[in-house]
Amino acid sequence: MTLRISNAFLVKRTANQVCCDMGGESIILNLKSGIYYSLDEVGARIWGLIEQPMAITAIRDAILSEYDVQAEVCERDIHTFIERMDAAGLIEVPIEVKDEVGA
């Protein structure tokens, strides 16, 4: 089943992985499947942000403040990243919180 991403979600890394920094990029090993994943600089930054539970809106705001990217592109790419990490079994989406602005 594919996860339908909502900005109201909090996400965090699963405990079933180990990762290491490789000069700004990250390598992740899924301990259940034995599959390695490589993340570029932006993916590694998102991965670092979700070491603890973090709202997708907070991830988006952090990336927008650090990188020159349009908000719509940033949000779409974060949703894609989260969907792929979920499909790989590397993240948890523990709870849904209410959107404070009602959007």
**Confidence at residue 9, expressed as pLDDT on a 0 to 100 scale:** 83
Please tell me the CATH code under which domain 9-96 is placed: 3.90.930
Q: 4 exposed, middle or buried (CB, 10 Å; 0-12, 13-18, 19+)?
A: exposed
Distance CA 70, CA 10 (A): 22
**Confidence at residue 98, expressed as pLDDT on a 0 to 100 scale:** 56
Domain boundary assignment for the chain: 9-96
**Confidence at residue 56, expressed as pLDDT on a 0 to 100 scale:** 92
**Would you state the structure tokens that stand for residue 79, as one six-digit string?**
């949703």
pLDDT tens track for 60-79 = 999 999 999 999 999 999 99
Could you tell me which residues are beta bridge partners of residue 38?
A: 27
Q: Name the nearest CA neighbour of 13 among 45, 62, 53.
A: 53
One-letter amino acid of 60: R
Neighbours of 91 (CB within 10 A): 22
